[in-house]
A and B are shown apart, each in its own frame.
Chain A
Amino acid sequence: MTGLAQTDVTMLDVQKEYERWLIAHLAREAGIKPEEIDTKVPFSRYGLDSVAALTLVGDLERELRLELSPTLPYEYPTPEALAQHLAGLGRRAD
Protein backbone atom coordinates (compact mmCIF):
# COMPACT_ATOMS: atom_id res chain seq x y z
CA MET A 1 0.00 0.00 0.00
CA THR A 2 2.71 2.42 1.02
CA GLY A 3 4.67 1.60 -2.13
CA LEU A 4 1.70 2.27 -4.40
CA ALA A 5 0.88 5.57 -2.72
CA GLN A 6 4.51 6.60 -3.08
CA THR A 7 4.45 5.75 -6.77
CA ASP A 8 1.35 7.90 -7.26
CA VAL A 9 2.94 10.86 -5.53
CA THR A 10 6.06 10.48 -7.66
CA MET A 11 3.96 10.20 -10.83
CA LEU A 12 2.12 13.40 -9.96
CA ASP A 13 5.40 15.20 -9.31
CA VAL A 14 6.78 14.03 -12.64
CA GLN A 15 3.57 15.09 -14.38
CA LYS A 16 3.78 18.56 -12.81
CA GLU A 17 7.37 18.83 -13.95
CA TYR A 18 6.37 18.01 -17.54
CA GLU A 19 3.54 20.53 -17.29
CA ARG A 20 6.02 23.21 -16.25
CA TRP A 21 8.30 22.27 -19.14
CA LEU A 22 5.39 22.41 -21.61
CA ILE A 23 4.17 25.74 -20.24
CA ALA A 24 7.65 27.23 -20.60
CA HIS A 25 7.94 25.88 -24.15
CA LEU A 26 4.52 27.15 -25.23
CA ALA A 27 5.03 30.56 -23.63
CA ARG A 28 8.39 30.95 -25.35
CA GLU A 29 7.06 29.87 -28.77
CA ALA A 30 3.86 31.92 -28.57
CA GLY A 31 5.59 34.94 -27.04
CA ILE A 32 3.29 35.12 -24.02
CA LYS A 33 3.75 34.88 -20.24
CA PRO A 34 3.74 31.41 -18.64
CA GLU A 35 0.92 32.57 -16.32
CA GLU A 36 -1.31 32.99 -19.38
CA ILE A 37 -1.13 29.27 -20.21
CA ASP A 38 -3.91 27.06 -18.92
CA THR A 39 -2.87 23.38 -18.86
CA LYS A 40 -6.45 22.29 -19.63
CA VAL A 41 -6.67 24.38 -22.81
CA PRO A 42 -5.77 22.72 -26.17
CA PHE A 43 -2.37 23.46 -27.72
CA SER A 44 -4.11 24.74 -30.86
CA ARG A 45 -5.42 27.72 -28.85
CA TYR A 46 -1.80 28.82 -28.42
CA GLY A 47 -1.18 28.76 -32.15
CA LEU A 48 0.28 25.28 -32.44
CA ASP A 49 0.27 24.39 -36.16
CA SER A 50 1.86 21.31 -37.72
CA VAL A 51 5.39 22.73 -37.81
CA ALA A 52 5.14 24.08 -34.24
CA ALA A 53 3.85 20.67 -33.11
CA LEU A 54 6.94 19.03 -34.60
CA THR A 55 9.20 21.59 -32.93
CA LEU A 56 7.58 20.70 -29.62
CA VAL A 57 8.02 16.96 -30.24
CA GLY A 58 11.63 17.49 -31.41
CA ASP A 59 12.50 19.46 -28.25
CA LEU A 60 10.84 16.77 -26.12
CA GLU A 61 12.81 14.06 -27.91
CA ARG A 62 16.07 15.85 -27.12
CA GLU A 63 14.98 16.45 -23.53
CA LEU A 64 13.94 12.84 -22.93
CA ARG A 65 16.44 11.21 -25.31
CA LEU A 66 13.56 9.18 -26.70
CA GLU A 67 12.02 8.91 -30.16
CA LEU A 68 8.40 10.02 -29.91
CA SER A 69 5.32 9.89 -32.12
CA PRO A 70 5.13 13.07 -34.23
CA THR A 71 1.39 13.33 -33.57
CA LEU A 72 1.63 13.33 -29.73
CA PRO A 73 0.24 16.90 -29.36
CA TYR A 74 -2.83 15.78 -31.34
CA GLU A 75 -3.31 12.52 -29.45
CA TYR A 76 -2.90 14.37 -26.12
CA PRO A 77 -4.17 17.82 -27.06
CA THR A 78 -3.62 19.73 -23.78
CA PRO A 79 -0.46 20.30 -21.67
CA GLU A 80 -2.13 18.38 -18.83
CA ALA A 81 -2.98 15.35 -20.99
CA LEU A 82 0.43 15.28 -22.66
CA ALA A 83 2.27 15.66 -19.33
CA GLN A 84 0.26 12.79 -17.89
CA HIS A 85 1.14 10.62 -20.88
CA LEU A 86 4.85 11.51 -20.65
CA ALA A 87 4.90 10.74 -16.93
CA GLY A 88 3.43 7.35 -17.75
CA LEU A 89 6.15 6.73 -20.36
CA GLY A 90 8.83 7.26 -17.71
CA ARG A 91 7.15 4.77 -15.39
CA ARG A 92 7.02 2.11 -18.10
CA ALA A 93 10.67 2.70 -18.92
CA ASP A 94 11.56 2.05 -15.25
Chain B
Amino acid sequence: MTASLNQGASAEAIQYHYDLGNDFYELWLDPTLSYSGAMYGPGDTLETAQLRKIDYHIDASEARGAARLLDVGCGWGGLLRRLATEPGGVGKGIGLTLSAAQARWASAISPPNIEIRLESWADHQPEGPYDAIISVGAFEHFARIDSTDEERLNSYRAFFSRCHDWLLPGKRLSLQTFAYGSRRRREEGRLTEGTRFLAKEIFPETDPPRLVDIVAASDGLFEIESLRNDRKDYARTCKDWLTRLRAKRADATALVGEAAFARYERYLQLSAVGFEAGYLALFRVVLSRVGR
Protein backbone atom coordinates (compact mmCIF):
# COMPACT_ATOMS: atom_id res chain seq x y z
CA MET B 1 0.00 0.00 0.00
CA THR B 2 1.50 3.35 -0.97
CA ALA B 3 0.90 6.36 1.22
CA SER B 4 -0.10 8.56 -1.70
CA LEU B 5 -2.89 6.23 -2.80
CA ASN B 6 -4.46 5.43 0.51
CA GLN B 7 -4.36 7.95 3.33
CA GLY B 8 -6.89 5.94 5.30
CA ALA B 9 -6.65 4.04 8.52
CA SER B 10 -3.82 1.47 8.52
CA ALA B 11 -4.32 -2.29 8.70
CA GLU B 12 -3.10 -2.12 12.32
CA ALA B 13 -5.75 0.46 13.19
CA ILE B 14 -8.50 -1.56 11.51
CA GLN B 15 -7.36 -4.70 13.30
CA TYR B 16 -7.34 -2.87 16.66
CA HIS B 17 -11.08 -2.48 16.30
CA TYR B 18 -12.21 -5.50 14.31
CA ASP B 19 -9.86 -8.17 15.63
CA LEU B 20 -11.19 -8.15 19.18
CA GLY B 21 -12.38 -11.67 18.39
CA ASN B 22 -15.17 -13.09 16.29
CA ASP B 23 -16.73 -14.67 19.42
CA PHE B 24 -17.20 -11.25 20.97
CA TYR B 25 -19.02 -9.81 17.95
CA GLU B 26 -21.11 -12.97 17.58
CA LEU B 27 -22.54 -12.26 21.04
CA TRP B 28 -24.29 -9.04 20.09
CA LEU B 29 -24.39 -8.64 16.28
CA ASP B 30 -27.11 -10.32 14.21
CA PRO B 31 -26.46 -13.80 12.72
CA THR B 32 -25.03 -12.34 9.46
CA LEU B 33 -22.55 -10.35 11.62
CA SER B 34 -23.47 -7.15 9.82
CA TYR B 35 -21.50 -4.46 11.61
CA SER B 36 -23.10 -1.39 10.03
CA GLY B 37 -26.38 0.49 10.16
CA ALA B 38 -29.43 -1.68 9.42
CA MET B 39 -32.54 -0.59 7.50
CA TYR B 40 -35.72 -0.87 9.55
CA GLY B 41 -39.13 -1.48 8.03
CA PRO B 42 -42.40 -2.00 9.89
CA GLY B 43 -42.14 -4.85 12.39
CA ASP B 44 -38.42 -5.42 11.81
CA THR B 45 -36.08 -6.88 14.39
CA LEU B 46 -32.32 -6.28 14.16
CA GLU B 47 -32.00 -9.52 12.20
CA THR B 48 -34.63 -8.71 9.58
CA ALA B 49 -33.48 -5.07 9.34
CA GLN B 50 -29.92 -6.20 8.56
CA LEU B 51 -31.22 -8.49 5.81
CA ARG B 52 -33.33 -5.61 4.47
CA LYS B 53 -30.16 -3.48 4.34
CA ILE B 54 -28.22 -6.22 2.54
CA ASP B 55 -31.03 -6.69 0.01
CA TYR B 56 -31.24 -2.94 -0.53
CA HIS B 57 -27.60 -2.82 -1.64
CA ILE B 58 -27.94 -5.95 -3.77
CA ASP B 59 -30.96 -4.41 -5.53
CA ALA B 60 -29.45 -0.92 -5.82
CA SER B 61 -26.24 -2.17 -7.41
CA GLU B 62 -28.14 -4.69 -9.57
CA ALA B 63 -25.80 -7.37 -8.27
CA ARG B 64 -28.27 -10.25 -8.56
CA GLY B 65 -27.14 -12.51 -11.36
CA ALA B 66 -23.99 -10.46 -11.95
CA ALA B 67 -20.98 -12.30 -13.35
CA ARG B 68 -18.59 -10.49 -11.02
CA LEU B 69 -19.25 -8.49 -7.84
CA LEU B 70 -16.79 -6.66 -5.61
CA ASP B 71 -17.56 -5.98 -1.92
CA VAL B 72 -15.12 -3.41 -0.51
CA GLY B 73 -14.97 -3.85 3.25
CA CYS B 74 -16.86 -7.13 3.29
CA GLY B 75 -16.57 -7.69 7.04
CA TRP B 76 -17.59 -11.24 7.89
CA GLY B 77 -18.97 -11.74 4.37
CA GLY B 78 -22.70 -11.77 5.20
CA LEU B 79 -23.76 -9.88 2.08
CA LEU B 80 -21.73 -12.08 -0.28
CA ARG B 81 -23.08 -15.27 1.28
CA ARG B 82 -26.68 -14.06 1.11
CA LEU B 83 -26.29 -13.18 -2.57
CA ALA B 84 -24.51 -16.46 -3.37
CA THR B 85 -27.32 -18.54 -1.88
CA GLU B 86 -30.13 -16.63 -3.64
CA PRO B 87 -31.79 -17.62 -6.91
CA GLY B 88 -29.81 -15.87 -9.64
CA GLY B 89 -26.89 -15.64 -7.26
CA VAL B 90 -23.61 -14.30 -8.50
CA GLY B 91 -20.94 -15.75 -10.76
CA LYS B 92 -18.00 -14.67 -8.67
CA GLY B 93 -18.09 -12.53 -5.53
CA ILE B 94 -14.88 -11.00 -4.21
CA GLY B 95 -14.73 -9.44 -0.75
CA LEU B 96 -11.92 -7.27 0.59
CA THR B 97 -11.18 -6.75 4.28
CA LEU B 98 -8.23 -5.49 6.32
CA SER B 99 -9.14 -7.62 9.32
CA ALA B 100 -7.35 -10.98 9.47
CA ALA B 101 -9.91 -12.37 11.94
CA GLN B 102 -12.77 -11.49 9.57
CA ALA B 103 -10.96 -12.91 6.53
CA ARG B 104 -10.22 -16.25 8.21
CA TRP B 105 -13.75 -16.62 9.56
CA ALA B 106 -15.48 -15.59 6.32
CA SER B 107 -13.24 -17.73 4.08
CA ALA B 108 -13.95 -20.80 6.16
CA ILE B 109 -17.73 -20.68 5.76
CA SER B 110 -18.23 -19.14 2.31
CA PRO B 111 -19.13 -21.14 -0.82
CA PRO B 112 -16.43 -21.67 -3.52
CA ASN B 113 -17.60 -18.81 -5.77
CA ILE B 114 -17.00 -16.34 -2.93
CA GLU B 115 -13.41 -15.26 -2.37
CA ILE B 116 -12.39 -13.27 0.70
CA ARG B 117 -9.09 -11.40 0.44
CA LEU B 118 -7.06 -9.76 3.19
CA GLU B 119 -6.32 -6.74 1.05
CA SER B 120 -6.88 -3.00 0.76
CA TRP B 121 -8.83 -1.61 -2.20
CA ALA B 122 -5.71 0.43 -2.96
CA ASP B 123 -3.80 -2.81 -3.65
CA HIS B 124 -6.60 -4.65 -5.42
CA GLN B 125 -5.86 -5.81 -8.94
CA PRO B 126 -8.93 -7.53 -10.38
CA GLU B 127 -8.66 -10.33 -12.94
CA GLY B 128 -11.52 -8.79 -14.90
CA PRO B 129 -14.09 -5.97 -14.82
CA TYR B 130 -16.96 -5.90 -12.30
CA ASP B 131 -20.71 -5.72 -12.97
CA ALA B 132 -21.42 -4.25 -9.57
CA ILE B 133 -19.55 -2.88 -6.55
CA ILE B 134 -20.93 -2.63 -3.03
CA SER B 135 -19.19 -0.95 -0.13
CA VAL B 136 -20.86 -0.82 3.28
CA GLY B 137 -19.14 0.60 6.33
CA ALA B 138 -15.66 1.00 4.86
CA PHE B 139 -15.57 4.52 3.38
CA GLU B 140 -15.59 5.84 6.99
CA HIS B 141 -12.00 4.65 7.34
CA PHE B 142 -10.58 6.06 4.11
CA ALA B 143 -9.31 9.30 5.66
CA ARG B 144 -7.18 9.82 8.72
CA ILE B 145 -7.94 12.16 11.56
CA ASP B 146 -4.62 13.99 11.00
CA SER B 147 -4.87 14.35 7.22
CA THR B 148 -5.42 17.67 5.49
CA ASP B 149 -8.59 18.43 3.52
CA GLU B 150 -6.61 17.96 0.29
CA GLU B 151 -5.29 14.55 1.38
CA ARG B 152 -8.77 13.45 2.40
CA LEU B 153 -10.25 14.42 -0.93
CA ASN B 154 -7.39 12.72 -2.81
CA SER B 155 -8.00 9.51 -0.91
CA TYR B 156 -11.76 9.54 -1.57
CA ARG B 157 -11.11 10.50 -5.20
CA ALA B 158 -8.67 7.60 -5.59
CA PHE B 159 -11.35 5.20 -4.33
CA PHE B 160 -14.00 6.42 -6.79
CA SER B 161 -11.42 6.47 -9.54
CA ARG B 162 -10.52 2.81 -8.92
CA CYS B 163 -14.19 1.83 -8.82
CA HIS B 164 -14.68 3.68 -12.10
CA ASP B 165 -11.77 1.78 -13.69
CA TRP B 166 -13.07 -1.57 -12.47
CA LEU B 167 -16.77 -1.22 -13.33
CA LEU B 168 -18.25 -1.89 -16.75
CA PRO B 169 -19.91 1.16 -18.43
CA GLY B 170 -23.25 2.15 -16.90
CA LYS B 171 -22.85 -0.19 -13.90
CA ARG B 172 -23.41 0.78 -10.29
CA LEU B 173 -21.67 1.29 -7.00
CA SER B 174 -23.87 1.11 -3.90
CA LEU B 175 -22.16 2.90 -1.04
CA GLN B 176 -23.07 3.11 2.63
CA THR B 177 -21.07 5.20 5.05
CA PHE B 178 -21.63 7.11 8.23
CA ALA B 179 -20.51 10.70 8.13
CA TYR B 180 -20.42 13.88 10.11
CA GLY B 181 -23.89 15.42 10.06
CA SER B 182 -24.47 18.83 8.58
CA ARG B 183 -25.71 20.26 11.86
CA ARG B 184 -22.21 21.27 12.92
CA ARG B 185 -19.14 22.39 11.04
CA ARG B 186 -16.46 19.71 10.74
CA GLU B 187 -13.90 21.50 12.92
CA GLU B 188 -16.50 21.97 15.63
CA GLY B 189 -17.62 18.34 15.44
CA ARG B 190 -14.06 17.05 15.71
CA LEU B 191 -13.45 18.90 18.96
CA THR B 192 -16.34 17.44 20.96
CA GLU B 193 -15.70 14.99 23.79
CA GLY B 194 -17.78 12.37 21.99
CA THR B 195 -15.78 12.57 18.75
CA ARG B 196 -12.49 12.50 20.63
CA PHE B 197 -13.52 9.39 22.56
CA LEU B 198 -14.53 7.58 19.37
CA ALA B 199 -11.33 8.59 17.54
CA LYS B 200 -9.05 7.62 20.44
CA GLU B 201 -10.67 4.54 21.95
CA ILE B 202 -12.81 2.99 19.25
CA PHE B 203 -11.72 3.82 15.71
CA PRO B 204 -8.08 4.94 15.85
CA GLU B 205 -6.90 6.98 12.85
CA THR B 206 -10.41 7.15 11.42
CA ASP B 207 -12.10 10.41 10.51
CA PRO B 208 -15.50 10.08 8.86
CA PRO B 209 -16.37 12.01 5.68
CA ARG B 210 -18.88 14.76 5.11
CA LEU B 211 -21.49 14.70 2.39
CA VAL B 212 -19.59 17.31 0.36
CA ASP B 213 -16.56 14.99 0.28
CA ILE B 214 -18.59 12.21 -1.33
CA VAL B 215 -20.12 14.56 -3.88
CA ALA B 216 -16.84 16.30 -4.76
CA ALA B 217 -14.76 13.11 -4.93
CA SER B 218 -17.16 11.27 -7.24
CA ASP B 219 -17.89 14.22 -9.53
CA GLY B 220 -17.19 13.41 -13.19
CA LEU B 221 -16.73 9.69 -12.41
CA PHE B 222 -20.17 8.76 -11.13
CA GLU B 223 -23.67 10.14 -11.27
CA ILE B 224 -25.44 10.09 -7.92
CA GLU B 225 -28.74 8.35 -8.63
CA SER B 226 -30.08 8.39 -5.13
CA LEU B 227 -29.02 9.56 -1.72
CA ARG B 228 -30.60 8.75 1.64
CA ASN B 229 -29.70 9.90 5.11
CA ASP B 230 -30.99 7.09 7.33
CA ARG B 231 -29.38 8.30 10.56
CA LYS B 232 -32.38 7.25 12.67
CA ASP B 233 -31.86 3.70 11.40
CA TYR B 234 -28.30 3.78 12.70
CA ALA B 235 -29.43 5.19 16.06
CA ARG B 236 -31.83 2.26 16.37
CA THR B 237 -29.15 -0.22 15.28
CA CYS B 238 -26.80 1.07 17.99
CA LYS B 239 -29.56 0.79 20.60
CA ASP B 240 -30.35 -2.77 19.51
CA TRP B 241 -26.65 -3.66 19.70
CA LEU B 242 -26.41 -2.05 23.16
CA THR B 243 -29.40 -4.03 24.46
CA ARG B 244 -27.95 -7.27 23.11
CA LEU B 245 -24.45 -6.54 24.44
CA ARG B 246 -25.82 -5.71 27.90
CA ALA B 247 -27.87 -8.91 27.89
CA LYS B 248 -24.61 -10.83 27.35
CA ARG B 249 -22.58 -8.82 29.88
CA ALA B 250 -21.15 -11.85 31.68
CA ASP B 251 -20.12 -13.68 28.48
CA ALA B 252 -18.70 -10.52 26.91
CA THR B 253 -16.68 -9.59 29.99
CA ALA B 254 -15.27 -13.10 30.16
CA LEU B 255 -14.11 -12.77 26.54
CA VAL B 256 -12.72 -9.24 26.38
CA GLY B 257 -12.57 -7.99 29.99
CA GLU B 258 -14.38 -5.27 31.95
CA ALA B 259 -12.54 -2.36 30.33
CA ALA B 260 -13.30 -3.36 26.75
CA PHE B 261 -16.92 -4.08 27.68
CA ALA B 262 -17.26 -0.59 29.21
CA ARG B 263 -15.59 0.94 26.13
CA TYR B 264 -18.07 -0.72 23.78
CA GLU B 265 -21.02 0.19 25.97
CA ARG B 266 -19.92 3.84 25.92
CA TYR B 267 -19.24 3.75 22.16
CA LEU B 268 -22.70 2.35 21.37
CA GLN B 269 -24.39 4.88 23.67
CA LEU B 270 -22.46 7.83 22.20
CA SER B 271 -23.08 6.66 18.65
CA ALA B 272 -26.81 6.22 19.29
CA VAL B 273 -26.98 9.78 20.61
CA GLY B 274 -24.84 11.11 17.73
CA PHE B 275 -27.14 9.61 15.11
CA GLU B 276 -30.33 10.48 16.99
CA ALA B 277 -29.28 14.12 17.43
CA GLY B 278 -27.97 14.47 13.86
CA TYR B 279 -24.30 15.04 14.75
CA LEU B 280 -23.73 11.93 12.66
CA ALA B 281 -25.42 10.94 9.39
CA LEU B 282 -25.84 7.60 7.66
CA PHE B 283 -25.63 7.95 3.90
CA ARG B 284 -26.71 5.30 1.43
CA VAL B 285 -25.67 6.47 -2.01
CA VAL B 286 -26.32 4.75 -5.32
CA LEU B 287 -23.86 5.87 -7.99
CA SER B 288 -23.81 4.91 -11.63
CA ARG B 289 -20.59 4.95 -13.59
CA VAL B 290 -20.37 7.69 -16.24
CA GLY B 291 -18.39 7.55 -19.48
CA ARG B 292 -17.25 4.69 -21.62
Binding site for B on A (CB under 8 A): 49-51, 53-54, 57, 67, 69-71, 74-75
Give 18 A-B contacts (CB < 8 Å), ordered by A residue.
Answer: A49-B192, A49-B193, A50-B192, A50-B194, A50-B274, A51-B192, A51-B194, A51-B270, A54-B266, A54-B269, A54-B273, A57-B269, A69-B272, A70-B238, A70-B269, A74-B273, A74-B277, A75-B276
B244-273 interface with A by 8 A CB criterion: 246, 266, 268-270, 272-273
Q: Is B235 an interface residue (CB 8 A)?
A: yes
> Any chain A CB within 8 A of the CB of B52?
no
Q: How far is the CA of A49 from the CA of B189 in the complex (A)?
A: 11
Give the CA-CA distance A70 to B238 in the complex, in Å: 10
B279 within 8 A of A: yes
Bound together, the chains give a CA A72 to CA B243 distance in angstroms of 14
Majority DSSP secondary structure for residues of A touching B: helix
Interface residues of chain B: helix, strand, loop or mixed (majority):
helix
Q: How far is the CA of A69 from the CA of B193 in the complex (A)?
A: 20
Q: Which residues of B contact A50 (CB under 8 A)?
A: 192-194, 270, 273-274, 277, 279
Q: CA of A13 to CA of B266 in the docked complex: distance in angstroms? A: 33
Q: Please name all residues of chain B whose beta carbon is closer than 8 Å to the beta carbon of A53 when the two chains form the complex.
A: 273, 277
Across the A-B interface, the 9 shortest Cβ-Cβ residue pairs: A70-B269, A71-B276, A50-B273, A51-B193, A74-B276, A50-B194, A70-B272, A71-B272, A54-B269
Roughly how many angstroms separate A51 CA and B268 CA in the complex, as a whole number? 12
Query: Given the complex, which residues of A lie within 8 Å of B239, measured CB to CB?
Result: 69-71
With a CB–CB cut-off of 8 A, which chain A residues contact B194?
49-51
Chain A residues whose CB sits within 8 angstroms of the CB of B268 once the complex forms: 70
A residues in contact with B167, CB < 8 Å? none
Could you tell me which residues of chain B, from 265 to 292, have a CB within 8 Å of some CB in chain A? 266, 268-270, 272-274, 276-277, 279
